[in-house]
Chains A and B, each alone.
Chain A
Amino acid sequence: MNGHLQADELLMIVAIACYIFGALALLVYFFSREEWLRNLGAPLAIVGCAAQFAQLFVRWELTGIWPLLNLYGSLSLFAAMSVLIFIIMAWRYKAWYAGGFVLALAAIALAYGVTWNEGTMPAVPSLQSYWAKIHVPIVVSSYAAFLVAFVFSVIYLIKYYAEDLFEGKGILAAMSERGTRLSPEYAVASAALADAGLPTPPPYNIRQDTPAIDAAAASGNSTATWLQSLPSLAQLDVIVYRAVAIGLPLISIGIITGAAWAKEAWGAYWQWDPKETAALATWIVYLAYMHLHTRNNWRGLRTNWVSVLGFAVVIFTYLGVNIWISGLHSYKV
């Protein structure tokens, strides 16, 4: 093993360590909201992500082989892109509280990926194509965006069902409730301007979509206070939508570039190969998500369940098909 390979392994260890410690810090931050934990976890996420990209680059540089042609490289990019997309969203929506879950999932993906590291191998002829450099990163990035959507959907669902519990419904009643709480209840605050023209109170409307949690928090319930510190359900839903809005175009482009590649390598742009077909099923689930999201009374509870289901299909497409079903797309020779 040469010095470069050691650098590659060192970077991988740095990344996994950053993700594990970052996940711990941000998970505790999720519950405690201690600022210093966020200030520790966020840089760890950034350093881990940077180390991962550096590792992929070093590996490419030293072997001369595009590093994403096996499950090890691909899972590595999946982890890195999940964290990158999360960092962008966390920065944009002040959403570091969700980082513990994303980093933990990234660390698991990475650790699992390492078990597939078979060393360096030249690519089989069908993988020797410039499309490998386009198609694989796009598809993997779409999966990463869906991971981020999944994490925020889970947080949405936690808050949603917690509201039901605070309303006094039993857990089963809460789970079986069919309605949605997203038809927004806005507290109307009309603005009266002083002569100077300044608004008092704020001239926009504040939504209260978890009144039971808010009431319990006001009477000092600590769990409710914690839940209240999460964004409103509507805001969480918007974040999920934004993540899907990254993932859906990416998976569409991923399927299209895959089809273009298949046309070059196998003779037909669509062969109904299990991997491409499973990707189509994933696309369909998120298409359903997006269409449900256009309806006011389906937006929220149901769309977030679809996002959770969607991520299960992503995992099946990404790993399940490779492990259980053989086809043209298998990473193995």
Chain B
Amino acid sequence: MVERLDSYYTDFVRTFGNVLFAVSLFLVWGVLTMIGVIVDQGKDPSIYFGSYPAPIARAILRLNFDNIYHSPWYIGIIALILTSLTVCTFKRVIPARLPPLRPVKIDKIPLHASFELAGDERSVRERVEAFFRARGWQLRKREFDGTEWTFADKHNWARRGVLVAHIGFVIIAAGTTLYWARGFSGETVVVTGQAVEIPQTKAILRLDNFGYSITPVLTKGGMVYQPTDYVSHVTVTGNDGVPKNMTVRVNHPIDVDQTLYYQASYGFAMRFRVTHNGKDVPALSQRVLMEGENFDIPGTRLNVAYDRFVPTVDRQSGMPSADPRVNDPAVIMTVSDGGAQAGSAIVPLHTWVDLGGGWKVVPSNYLLYSGFQYRYDPGVPLVGIGALVLVCGLLISFYFLPARLYARIDSTTGGRCTVGMAATTVKGYDMFETQFRGLVSEFSAEAS
């Protein structure tokens, strides 16, 4: 039993500690990520059946590709990568990156050179050491089987760059998990003059006023109405119970008890004055409708829907124009009778629609509403720190190449010595070839 567990453990470490296994995981991670780019996320099933042949649409839904980033596949692959990263770090990276000082067979190492120099062993060693010390190499000496070796290390500290990068990734993953465990987010819409309570925080958000700026620009493709500002003036009551006036703009969220509120959208709510035989029906007239909402006419089978606000109607064609500024406003209304659409029209504000039976509806006035996103994410500081650590790890790994030089000095006859030099790096030999060549020529020039 113990033996079997032991062999499972060995297999697990061998597999998860293998860089090629990690690269295969990256590949799967990359493919899943790309699927989410190509397949629209979070849409209604009918959209997939509309865009793809039925078997593919079914597969998309069955495999959770419509919400891939929260699917078991995606979370699973990240979990596997984190496991692999941990195993690899302890079983491969640390032993490989922090090797003990050991003698080597100089001429078996591809980057090697040997010289014969005049002088006794001590003086030659001093020359070798002075050469490397002057270039900022860290020197250490060890004796193995009666032979003294000199080891020179450059950027030895940078051997930990991989560890730093790996830890950075783990910290980011921890920060993201913290949001899943403890954070929340949501959206809310507030009509001018009204207030809403945020369910999770009990904060009260009142919209005092919303404004937007549109700049018309004449481009080669025609007139473009470019939005340039969205701004909500709000009164917020947080935990302390004190109402505060604040301003929310795109790129300028507000912070209320660590929950951030963002300017997300805006629109036009409508009041419709409804009269029956010339008399106002207050229950209907005082209602405020958002785009897409509707109401029933009491005692009839009629229903009136407020489809969309049209800020400017083109005077000539009577159709909605592209100008999003409110010049000649109208609404698009649809009336249905017993569920069947009776008609749809663009109705200018303050003009009435006769529904028959003494009922009239007038789109009377509009109120701007503002959409906010809010989010409490306790993981943000961790993700930020992790990102910083990750980038530091990348920079250390890429820009500080740890190299180790091995020097062995053997006396030969006639008061001369052979100096054997070899170099290894954590990235193979090619990366260091030019520098090694440079060092060798400098050394030979200096030694001569």
Contact indicator per residue, chain A 303-316, by CB within 8 Å of chain B (1) or not (0) = 00000000001000
The 8 closest A-B pairs by CB, nearest first: A197-B448, A125-B250, A267-B373, A267-B262, A245-B398, A203-B113, A234-B430, A284-B30
Segment from B278-286, B342-350, B374-382 that makes contact with A:
B374-382
- Nearest A residue to B172 via CB reads A256
State A56–B383 Cα separation when bound (angstroms): 34
State A234–B436 Cα separation when bound (angstroms): 15
Given contacts A191-B114, A193-B116, A196-B448, contact A124 B33 (CB under 8 A): no
What A residues does B375 contact at CB under 8 A? Answer: 267-268
On whether the beta carbons of B430 and A265 are closer than 8 Å, the reply is no
On whether the beta carbons of B429 and A184 are closer than 8 Å, the reply is yes
State A188–B249 Cα separation when bound (angstroms): 68
On whether the beta carbons of A249 and B116 are closer than 8 Å, the reply is no
Given contacts A125-B250, A197-B118, contact A333 B33 (CB under 8 A): no
Shortest B225–chain A CB gap in Å is 8
What A residues does B36 contact at CB under 8 A? Answer: 272, 274, 277
Shortest B54–chain A CB gap in Å is 22
**B436 interface neighbour in A118, A184, A204, A238, Cβ under 8 Å:** A204
Contact indicator per residue, chain A 235-275, by CB within 8 Å of chain B (1) or not (0) = 10110010001001100110010011001111111101010
In the assembled complex, B437 has its CB within 8 A of some CB on chain A: yes
**B430 interface neighbour in A235, A252, A298, Cβ under 8 Å:** A235
Segment from B21-29, B237-245, B310-318 that makes contact with A:
B21-29
State A287–B390 Cα separation when bound (angstroms): 12
In the assembled complex, B391 has its CB within 8 A of some CB on chain A: yes
Segment from A34-42, A166-174, A289-297 that makes contact with B:
A289-297
State A268–B262 Cα separation when bound (angstroms): 9
What A residues does B69 contact at CB under 8 A? Answer: 272, 277
Contact indicator per residue, chain A 116-132, by CB within 8 Å of chain B (1) or not (0) = 01111111111011000
Binding site for B on A (CB under 8 A): 117-126, 128-129, 182, 184, 186, 188, 190-193, 195-199, 202-205, 207, 234-235, 237-238, 241, 245, 248-249, 252-253, 256, 259-260, 263-270, 272, 274, 277-278, 280-281, 284-285, 287-288, 291-296, 298-299, 313, 321, 325, 333
Given contacts A126-B251, A274-B37, contact A248 B448 (CB under 8 A): no
On whether the beta carbons of B228 and A182 are closer than 8 Å, the reply is no
In the assembled complex, B395 has its CB within 8 A of some CB on chain A: yes
What A residues does B87 contact at CB under 8 A? Answer: none
On whether the beta carbons of B113 and A191 are closer than 8 Å, the reply is yes
Contact indicator per residue, chain B 47-87, by CB within 8 Å of chain A (1) or not (0) = 00000000000000000000001000000000000000000
- Nearest A residue to B96 via CB reads A294
On whether the beta carbons of B444 and A198 are closer than 8 Å, the reply is yes
**B394 interface neighbour in A190, A249, A259, A278, Cβ under 8 Å:** A249
Shortest A188–chain B CB gap in Å is 7
Contact indicator per residue, chain B 103-114, by CB within 8 Å of chain A (1) or not (0) = 000010011111
Given A260-B384, A267-B373, A272-B41, 9 extra CB contacts under 8 A: A118-B224, A122-B228, A123-B228, A199-B444, A204-B113, A266-B373, A267-B374, A295-B20, A325-B37
State A123–B69 Cα separation when bound (angstroms): 31
**B22 interface neighbour in A123, A264, A291, Cβ under 8 Å:** A291
On whether the beta carbons of A284 and B26 are closer than 8 Å, the reply is yes
Shortest B378–chain A CB gap in Å is 13
What B residues does A281 contact at CB under 8 A? Answer: 30, 33-34, 37
On whether the beta carbons of B117 and A249 are closer than 8 Å, the reply is no
What A residues does B114 contact at CB under 8 A? Answer: 190-191, 203
**B251 interface neighbour in A118, A125, A235, A252, Cβ under 8 Å:** A125
What B residues does A184 contact at CB under 8 A? Answer: 110, 429-430
In the assembled complex, B428 has its CB within 8 A of some CB on chain A: yes
On whether the beta carbons of B23 and A203 are closer than 8 Å, the reply is no
On whether the beta carbons of A252 and B394 are closer than 8 Å, the reply is yes
Given contacts A234-B433, A277-B37, contact A204 B111 (CB under 8 A): yes
Which interface residue of A120, A125, A207, A321 has the most chain B CB atoms within 10 A?
A: A125
**B33 interface neighbour in A123, A268, A284, A321, Cβ under 8 Å:** A284
What A residues does B260 contact at CB under 8 A? Answer: 267
On whether the beta carbons of B383 and A193 are closer than 8 Å, the reply is no
Binding site for A on B (CB under 8 A): 19-20, 22-23, 26-27, 29-30, 33-34, 36-38, 41, 69, 107, 110-118, 176, 185, 215, 217-221, 224, 226-230, 249-253, 260, 262-264, 373-375, 377, 380, 383-384, 387, 390-391, 394-395, 398-399, 427-431, 433, 436-437, 440-441, 444, 447-448
Given contacts A119-B217, A184-B110, A203-B444, contact A298 B20 (CB under 8 A): yes
24 examples of A-B residue contacts, CB within 8 angstroms: A121-B217, A124-B227, A125-B229, A125-B249, A125-B263, A186-B110, A193-B444, A197-B117, A197-B444, A199-B444, A204-B441, A235-B430, A249-B391, A249-B395, A259-B387, A260-B384, A267-B185, A268-B185, A284-B33, A291-B22, A291-B23, A292-B20, A292-B23, A295-B20
What B residues does A272 contact at CB under 8 A? Answer: 36, 41, 69
What A residues does B220 contact at CB under 8 A? Answer: 117-119
State A203–B111 Cα separation when bound (angstroms): 10
State A241–B230 Cα separation when bound (angstroms): 45
On whether the beta carbons of B215 and A122 are closer than 8 Å, the reply is yes
What B residues does A280 contact at CB under 8 A? Answer: 33
On whether the beta carbons of A269 and B383 are closer than 8 Å, the reply is yes
On whether the beta carbons of B250 and A267 are closer than 8 Å, the reply is no
Which interface residue of A197, A263, A291 has the most chain B CB atoms within 10 A?
A: A197
**A291 interface neighbour in B19, B391, B399, Cβ under 8 Å:** B19
State A128–B118 Cα separation when bound (angstroms): 70
State A215–B51 Cα separation when bound (angstroms): 58
On whether the beta carbons of B428 and A296 are closer than 8 Å, the reply is yes
**A253 interface neighbour in B41, B262, B391, Cβ under 8 Å:** B391
State A266–B112 Cα separation when bound (angstroms): 56
**B226 interface neighbour in A122, A190, A284, Cβ under 8 Å:** A122
- Nearest B residue to A119 via CB reads B219
Given contacts A193-B115, A249-B391, A321-B37, contact A264 B433 (CB under 8 A): no
What A residues does B252 contact at CB under 8 A? Answer: 264
On whether the beta carbons of A125 and B433 are closer than 8 Å, the reply is no
What A residues does B437 contact at CB under 8 A? Answer: 204
On whether the beta carbons of B448 and A198 are closer than 8 Å, the reply is yes
On whether the beta carbons of A288 and B224 are closer than 8 Å, the reply is no
**A121 interface neighbour in B219, B253, B399, Cβ under 8 Å:** B219
What B residues does A268 contact at CB under 8 A? Answer: 185, 373, 375, 377
State A285–B444 Cα separation when bound (angstroms): 43
On whether the beta carbons of A118 and B30 are closer than 8 Å, the reply is no
Shortest A258–chain B CB gap in Å is 11
What A residues does B433 contact at CB under 8 A? Answer: 204, 207, 234-235, 238
Shortest B321–chain A CB gap in Å is 16
On whether the beta carbons of A291 and B250 are closer than 8 Å, the reply is no
State A195–B115 Cα separation when bound (angstroms): 11
What A residues does B394 contact at CB under 8 A? Answer: 248-249, 252
**A195 interface neighbour in B118, B229, B377, B427, Cβ under 8 Å:** B118
